[in-house]
Structure 1
């Protein structure tokens, strides 16, 4: 099986929306890492010079390579990455080898 790992960094207020969109596009599961912190090119500041940093979540999706583009596009659209600055980002990496997916294989192959 040819797999891709999609990593999405999203503001925590859109995590569920992104998870649902990825599932609708064919992702069979996800790992969510809560309370990450991101920093962009420009620091966000509030009054008195205090830094305001929103919490974000890291979402990990192992998907069949043929579905990766569709899932990545759904994540991008639902997260608003192209329309709102600082809303998050997503990218995919090739997976050389994986274990522990036996319970997911049937569902992954069924989505092709």
Structure 2
């Protein structure tokens, strides 16, 4: 099996919908981190405090055959067509360790894509 890392940056209030959508498409888990950042439109501030919505970085590992459908599910669940609702991208992974307990689940999910 070959894997990719899927990284999603989204508003905190969308995180659960995004994780649920990704899991429905074959992702077996996710790591969520609080995030801050900048984009084309700068954050509004009030006396130096940001008024932007809190953001999350969601890190997932997916089998490469599943990546297009996982990313589509994330995009739809997060309503990413709307400005400020996030970004999602995938990077190929050269090596992955620690997924032994999840391999049987991953094999079943990948079978529908092969």
TM-score where L is the length of structure 1: 0.90
Change (3 A) 1:99 1:47: closer
Q: Secondary structure at the match of 1:17?
A: helix
Unmatched 5+ stretches in structure 2: none
RMSD, aligned CA: 1.6
Unmatched 5+ stretches in structure 1: none
For these two proteins, the number of residue pairs brought into alignment is 110
Residue in 2 aligned with 1:9?
9
Query: Which stretch of the first structure deviates more once superposed, 90-99 or 41-50?
Result: 41-50
Q: Residues of 1 paired with 2:22 and 2:50: CA distance?
A: 32
1:38 to partner: Cα distance: 2.1
Q: What are the Cα deviations for residues 52-87 of structure 1, in whole angstroms up to 9, with x where unaligned?
A: 2221111111111000100011001111111x1011
2:25 matches 1:25: yes
Residue in 2 aligned with 1:110?
108
